[in-house]
Amino acid sequence: GENVEQHPSTLSVQEGDSAVIKCTYSDSASNYFPWYKQELGKRPQLIIDIRSNVGEKKDQRIAVTLNKTAKHFSLHITETQPEDSAVYFCAPYAAGNKLTFGGGTRVLVKP
Amino acid sequence: EADIYQTPRYLVIGTGKKITLECSQTMGHDKMYWYQQDPGMELHLIHYSYGVNSTEKGDLSSESTVSRIRTEHFPLTLESARPSHTSQYLCASRPSGSYEQYFGPGTRLTVT
């Protein structure tokens, strides 16, 4: 099965700074790479995703980069704001109709 | 409104009781999933379904069962609840042709 690791497990940044979370996976057949955000007491929601034929994707202040050779992808948040405080999960998809979630990264944006 | 619903939202129950957690979605999605998650921690896949009459066990060993008799309904049953089952249970669904999963609000279960 897929082994997924996220680093760091916690991240504290000053408002306005950037945050980067890295996700490493093991299955070279993985072809879809999403990031989910879960605010306190809320359900996880997809915030950005990337397919294996693309190296980078941006959506306003967030971006995802993929390195298929090294089997890792990263979430980048620029100009962080207090509402970015949440737990972020990577969840690469390989075969079998299921995502494998990473352990999560707790991001705290300090005003 | 098209959404995914879970009931009950909170449940406190004694050891040994049988319980069923309900999940329904009105989005017409084929694939449905059950996850167990301690607050803010990793999501562990318990069961999933490709469609009606299809169910598979996930990665987390669990003394639970599921059924998929109707597309929109995917209940999870614990035959005999134990304190180790205390957790949050999240139901999710996605349509064929898309990888994005949509999550329900969760059921927070406490077994005393």
Q: How far is B32 from chain A (nearest CA, A)?
A: 10
Beta carbons within 8 Å of A110's beta carbon, 6+ residues apart: A12, A13, A14, A15
Mean pLDDT of chain A, nearest integer: 94
* pLDDT score for B52: 95
* pLDDT score for A53: 84
Average of pLDDT values for B55-73? 90
Contact (Cβ atoms closer than 8 angstroms) between residue A99 and residue A2: no
Among chain B residues, the shortest Cα distance to A6 is held by B42
* pLDDT score for B2: 81
* pLDDT score for A98: 78
Contact call for B99 and A89, based on CB within 8 A: no
- Best of B43, B54, B61, B96 to substitute, by most chain A Cβ atoms within 10 angstroms, is B43
Contact (Cβ atoms closer than 8 angstroms) between residue B45 and residue B58: yes
Contact call for A99 and B101, based on CB within 8 A: yes
Judged against a pLDDT cut of 70, whether residue B61 lies above it is answered with: no
Q: Which two tokens stand for residue A70?
A: 């090294």
CA diameter of chain A: 42
* pLDDT score for A4: 94
Contact call for A106 and B40, based on CB within 8 A: yes
Question: pLDDT per residue over B6-51, tens digit each?
Answer: 999 999 999 999 999 999 999 999 999 999 999 889 999 999 999 9
Q: Which residues of A touch B43 (CB under 8 A)?
A: 44, 89, 101
Q: Which residues of B touch A98 (CB under 8 A)?
A: 33, 45, 48, 58
* pLDDT score for B62: 72
Average of pLDDT values for A92-104? 85
Question: pLDDT per residue over A37-49, tens digit each?
Answer: 999 999 999 999 9
* pLDDT score for A97: 67
CA diameter of chain B: 42
Out of B50, B59, B103, name the one closest to residue A44 (CB): B103
Judged against a pLDDT cut of 90, whether residue A2 lies above it is answered with: no
Q: Which residues of A touch B44 (CB under 8 A)?
A: 101
Question: pLDDT per residue over B74-104, tens digit each?
Answer: 999 999 999 999 999 999 999 988 889 999 9
Q: How distant, in Å, are the alpha carbons of A88, A92, B88 from that of A34?
A: 10, 6, 22
DSSP B73: B
Average of pLDDT values for B58-63? 78
